[in-house]
Amino acid sequence: MITEKDIKRAHDKFNDFDCVSSSIIPNPTRLFNVGDECKVGNLDNCVIAEILFDGKAYRIDYNRITTREQPETTTVTGIWWWFDVEHRECSNNDSPQMFAAYLPGQLSTSSISSFIHLMGHSGLVCDPRYQRGYVWTAVDKECLIDSIFNRISIGSFVFSRHGGYHHDNSTKITTYINLDGDEVQIPEAHDYTCAVIDGQQRLTTIWKFYTNQFTYKGLYFKDLHFHDQNNFENTLISQRIFDEDSVPYKDVLAMFIKVNKGVPQDNTHLDKVQKLLEELK
């Protein structure tokens, strides 16, 4: 709900930061009426709320884009000159919207060394209920390491962070697979690991190279030039981490299927995960 205080703040902000006289602004070649839907940058659901200076500027109500800190949609208001406001043109306003809601969690960029730290701090694991084992070939591994050294993006990673404090009274034991492929069992009440939803093969490859389990161009990581080691560890990678309590397990399975469609993947394995998801619905 827009209040009089909000409107005054919008006018004050506009006058402070866009203090050029309206007489200097060229006459508008497009006009709007109060209540018209419009487009301003990438703002959501913009509606003309007030006409200023005979159409040279407009106060516009719009929806603030939701964030992790403010997950609820709120309506706010602001003022723009006419040339920043466009008509919202669409050949078919009844078309279904294609974009899904934003993925949960916070998207950030971290260095490879931060991933290694995350494994020591929380523990990086794979959930065998929906993750397959490590299957990359020597060619796959070399291509990934080659991309890192050539500063080519290797894509993003998605993790689910477990919260043992939600299960203080649980006696359940959860089975995971660590990055060495070993089966580990962790009491749910003490489980603070991060499960890899997207990026298992890439992350395992990085770990195996970093820990000298295979060579790149005949060299183990320990044999690289110091600057190459340093640059490798400081390579930035995009990641998204969300808390398990914010995403039901069935949604995790659905997310796994979505992010793995269209990439090299065993269809038999995807069918297995799809069946597991259907059993939970």
Question: Do 152 and 111 sit in the same domain of this protein?
Answer: yes
Question: Do 132 and 271 sit in the same domain of this protein?
Answer: yes
In a domain, 172, yes or no: yes
In a domain, 94, yes or no: no
Task: Tell me the two tokens of residue 239.
Answer: 């990641």
In sequence order, what are the beta bridge partners of 48?
Answer: 60
At which of 34, 55, 87 does a domain end?
87
pTM, two decimals, is: 0.61
Nearest to residue 256, comparing CAs of 124, 125, 132?
Answer: 132
Burial class (CB in 10 A: 0-12, 13-18, 19+), 235: middle
30: domain range?
4-87
Question: Do 248 and 174 sit in the same domain of this protein?
Answer: yes
In whole angstroms, give the CA distance from residue 166 to residue 183. 24
Question: Do 72 and 170 sit in the same domain of this protein?
Answer: no
Question: Do 188 and 254 sit in the same domain of this protein?
Answer: yes
Q: pLDDT in tens for each of the 281 residues of the chain?
A: 899 999 999 999 888 876 788 899 999 999 999 999 999 998 889 999 999 999 999 999 999 866 555 556 789 999 999 999 999 876 556 677 776 666 667 788 999 999 888 888 888 998 887 777 888 999 999 999 999 999 999 998 988 888 888 888 899 999 999 988 899 999 999 999 998 988 889 999 999 999 999 999 999 999 999 999 999 999 999 988 888 877 776 777 777 676 665 445 555 555 655 666 566 66
Question: Do 116 and 144 sit in the same domain of this protein?
Answer: yes
